[in-house]
Structure 1
C-alpha cells in the first residue's frame, strides 16, 4: 500500500495480520484556511470541491480496494454494516451511525474525528473489522461495546483486538464533573481517568476511559493512543482548539489478497 500521505498507523503486532488500518493527518490535501489541508468532511464549511479532491487523493494514494462511504455521525452508539451503509447512501437515505463494521475483504470502514477518539476493532483472525467514533458521550453510552457486539455477530467466538488512533490528550481535555459522574456511575474505576484542572474543571483521559471499557468488555488486546490532537497543531485537526477546522479519517479493511 503506498504511503505518500502522512498517516498514523498501528505498529507491527498491534492488530491482527491480514488487514489494513490507518488514521489520516491534516497534511497532504488542497484545502486552505482553517481546513488546511486534507480535510475529509463536508459539514465543516470547507469548499465542497476541495473536500472531494481530498477524498479522491486519499483513495488514489492509498490504492483503496473500494470507495470510502462515510456515515453521518451523531455522537451516538449506532453501528451499521458497510454494505447497509452503501445501500442507504445509494438510495439517497441518511445513514446515521457512529461505527461501521464489515467481514467482506476489500470493503473499507471509516469514521471522521477531530478530538474524539477513533477506535479500530478486529477479530483476532483478521476476518472481521470495525471502526468507531468515540467522543465522551458515545463512549459513556456504549459505542465501543455495541461495535463489539456487531463484530461478534459477524464472527462468533473470536477474540477481539483494538487500536486507538489520535484524540485529545489527557492534559488538554477539560470537562465538567457531570462527565466524570456519567462514567463513574457505570464503573468506579473510571474515577482514575480524571484529575483536577483549572477553574474547577476536570482533565479527562479519553484513552484510559476507552481502555477500561474495552478490557472490561473482553477485548484481548488494546494498543495505540498517546497522541494529542489539541497540542499537535501541525499534525492534527482539533475542534476544541480551533472551532472551525477539518476532520481526519480513520479507515480499516480486510486485505483481499491476504492468504487465509
Structure 2
C-alpha cells in the first residue's frame, strides 16, 4: 500500500518505520511548509500533524478522494465539518484521539465502569493525564474522550482543567519530559477509592494502530472510528 504521511515529526517517523516494516511504501512525507506533491499517488494518508494544520490536511485528502486517518488532537471544533465534507465527497475518514489497541480497550473499560457507577452518587470522579512536554494541547484528546464517556453515564455536565464547577470532571493535566502518555480515572468516596490507569511505554502502539487503521480504511467509504477497525 502507498501511504502519505501528513506530519513528519517524532510520531511521523515512527509511523514511517512501522509502515515500511509492514511492506508499505511512503509516497509523501509532509512537514510544515512543504506541499502535497505525491498525495495523489497514495492509497491512504495518515495525519499526525499539529492542530492548526489538521483541518487543511484532512480536507485536502477528502477533496482528492484519498482515505485519511487522523490522530492529531486539538482541532475537534471542526470535526463535524470534516464529517460533512467526507459525506459530500463520498470519502473515507477515521479520527482517533488515540490509536493504541490498549487505549481503545481502556476506552471500553472506562465506559463500562461509568455505567456501573452511574447510580453510586457518593463517588466523585476525577482524572489525571500526563504527557511529554512537547504535547501542544491540554487536556489530551484521549482524556477528553474518556471524560465524554463518563459524562454520558453520569450527572456530570462537562470537564475542566482548572476551577471545576460542581458538575465538572476535574482533569489534572501534567507535562513531564519523556512521558508518552498516562491516563488515570479515579472514583473516590469517604469509604474507598477505585482507580483505573493506562500507561503507554512508547509511541509504538499509537503508530502501529494508525497504520492498521490506514490498512483497514483503504478502499472504503464513510466515517469510522477505531472501534470499527478493532471490532470492539
TM over 0.5: no
With normalisation by structure 1, the TM-score equals 0.32
Q: Max radius of gyration: which structure?
A: 2
With normalisation by structure 2, the TM-score equals 0.35
- The structure with higher relative contact order (CA 8 Å, sep 6+) is 1
> More helix by proportion, 1 or 2?
2
